[in-house]
């Protein structure tokens, strides 16, 4: 645009929430600023939850104005907060005209934050509400980081238990948003950003082989594989991407990831959703034992969480316990996932990304 002979170029500003400390430092140095400013500003963002550069009042306005020319801080907005009777909190956040969900799950000695990586999900698993609602788009790095910052700010205000663990188990398949998920993990573990230990981050995936191969050379975090079925025909049908990445190959790629890993020294986590008359027969448990025999792993049985118009039913407690006992007897470490936030539809597979026409 030209005004009075002056050319004005509109530069798209960089959101500080989308870069790690090193990148931020380089940008400040390019701007001619002192390196210590990088730590100072990151401290305001990540420890005092400042979400507007104008609110930093002990940095000279001239310096801030220079920084503001190319950088800003943009958080996503919280649309609604819903509290469960068991302490779980669902944060619905607004992005464009869509919404995503982030779940805070406090326990006795820890508090887990379950974050989303996509609006909707591309994979379309038949037993998952997110999958049933289709795919809208990948979340940007800043949108992944904003979920954590927004929740941290509120739980601090409410004096609730600090987040100790972060799991990529919300809406979306994290490995189909590879670049942004990896960059956000690097910000989550960055000492000057969210400063989380990699031992406290878990990524759950249906098994995207090329992404698993790349991931092992970039970052070591806890890996959970949503295996759920031992038979390719059933898995093809219920997790359609199995047609491309089948059971044998996803197990091989996951094994290669954990072989390289210090974080997963107790093995891979295998997730197994319990669906009545689909995958809960005694023959299924023995098949599971046989395909996992050479894979260091622990097994997490997930009672199916129901949602409106779902075709599936959760296996009976008796069936789940039988599975549990047989797996244990065969030497596996097994857990049964506790249902949390079920009364507010905040459990696995119940997160909905549907378009909210009511939001303006």
Contact 173, 208 (CB under 8 A): yes
Closest CA to 38 of 47, 53, 25: 25
The maximal CA–CA distance of the chain, rounded, in angstroms, is: 81
270 is an interface residue for ligand SF4 by CB under 6 A: no
Q: 84 is written with which tokens? A: 């469960």
Residues in contact with ligand SAH, shown as a per-residue x/- string from 32 to 71 under the rule CB under 6 A: ----------------------------------------
Q: CA 119, CA 65: separation in Å to the nearest integer?
A: 34
* Residue 124 binding result from ligand SF4, ligand SAH, none, given CB thresholds of 5 to 8 Å by partner type: ligand SF4
Kindly state the smallest distance separating residue 180's Cβ from ligand SAH, in Å: 15
Q: CA 117, CA 129: separation in Å to the nearest integer?
A: 15
169 is an interface residue for ligand SAH by CB under 6 A: yes
- Which of 150, 226, 254, 345 forms a contact with ligand SAH (CB under 6 A)? 226
CB nearer to ligand SF4: give 51 or 352. 352
- Answer yes or no: 193 catalytic: no
Q: 215 is written with which tokens? A: 């991931």
Closest CA to 221 of 173, 180, 186: 186
- State the virtual CA torsion across 284, 317, 349, 92 in degrees, nearest 10: -160
89 is an interface residue for ligand SAH by CB under 6 A: no
17 is an interface residue for ligand SF4 by CB under 6 A: no
202 is an interface residue for ligand SAH by CB under 6 A: no
Q: Which stretch binds ligand SF4 (CB under 6 A): 76-84, 100-108, 118-126, 328-336?
A: 118-126
Kindly state the smallest distance separating residue 278's Cβ from ligand SF4, in Å: 15
345 is an interface residue for ligand SAH by CB under 6 A: no
* Residue 302 binding result from ligand SF4, ligand SAH, none, given CB thresholds of 5 to 8 Å by partner type: ligand SAH
Closest CA to 173 of 115, 128, 213, 121: 121
- Answer yes or no: 107 catalytic: no
Residues in contact with ligand SF4, shown as a per-residue x/- string from 122 to 161 under the rule CB under 6 A: -xxx--x-xx------------------------------
Segments of the chain assigned E as strands? 2-3, 6-7, 14-15, 71-72, 77-83, 89-95, 98-106, 111-114, 118-120, 135-138, 165-168, 201-205, 222-226, 268-274, 297-303, 333-336
Q: CA 176, CA 351: separation in Å to the nearest integer?
A: 18
Q: By the criterion CB under 6 A, which residues form the site for ligand SAH? A: 127-128, 169, 173, 204-206, 226, 271, 273, 302, 304-305, 348-349
> Which residues of the chain form contacts with ligand SF4 (CB under 6 A)?
121, 123-125, 128, 130-131, 172-173, 206
> Catalytic amino acids?
101, 348
């Amino acid at each position: 645009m030209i005004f009075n002979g002056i050319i004005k170029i509109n530069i798209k500003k960089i959101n500080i929430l989308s870069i790690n400390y090193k990148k931020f430092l380089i940008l400040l140095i390019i701007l001619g600023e002192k390196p210590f400013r990088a730590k100072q500003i990151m401290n305001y963002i990540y420890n005092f939850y400042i979400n507007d550069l104008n609110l930093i009042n002990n940095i000279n306005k001239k310096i801030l104005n220079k920084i503001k020319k190319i950088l800003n801080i943009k958080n996503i907005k919280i649309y609604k907060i819903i509290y469960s009777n068991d302490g779980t909190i669902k944060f619905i956040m607004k992005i464009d005209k869509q919404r995503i969900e982030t779940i805070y799950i406090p326990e006795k000695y820890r508090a887990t934050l379950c974050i989303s990586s996509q609006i909707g999900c591309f994979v379309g698993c038949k037993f998952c509400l997110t999958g049933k609602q289709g795919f809208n788009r990948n979340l940007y790095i800043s949108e992944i980081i904003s979920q954590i910052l927004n929740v941290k700010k509120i739980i601090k205000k409410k004096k609730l238990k600090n987040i100790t663990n972060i799991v990529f188990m919300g809406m979306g398949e994290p490995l189909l948003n590879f670049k942004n998920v990896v960059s956000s993990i690097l910000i989550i573990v960055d000492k000057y950003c969210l400063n989380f230990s990699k031992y406290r981050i878990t990524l759950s995936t249906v098994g995207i082989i090329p992404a698993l191969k790349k991931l092992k050379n970039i970052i070591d975090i806890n890996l959970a594989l949503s295996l759920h079925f031992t038979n390719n025909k059933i898995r093809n049908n219920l997790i359609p991407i199995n047609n491309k990445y089948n059971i044998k190959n996803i197990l091989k790629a996951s094994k290669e990831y954990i072989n390289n890993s210090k974080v997963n020294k107790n093995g891979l986590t295998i997730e197994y959703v319990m669906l009545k008359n689909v995958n809960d027969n005694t023959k299924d448990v023995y098949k599971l034992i046989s395909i996992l025999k050479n894979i260091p792993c622990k097994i997490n049985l997930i009672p199916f969480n129901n949602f409106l118009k779902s075709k599936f039913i959760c296996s009976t407690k008796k069936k789940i316990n039988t599975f549990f006992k047989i797996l244990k007897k065969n030497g596996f470490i097994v857990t049964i996932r506790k249902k949390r936030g079920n009364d507010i539809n905040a459990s696995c597979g119940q997160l909905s990304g549907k378009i909210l026409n009511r939001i303006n």
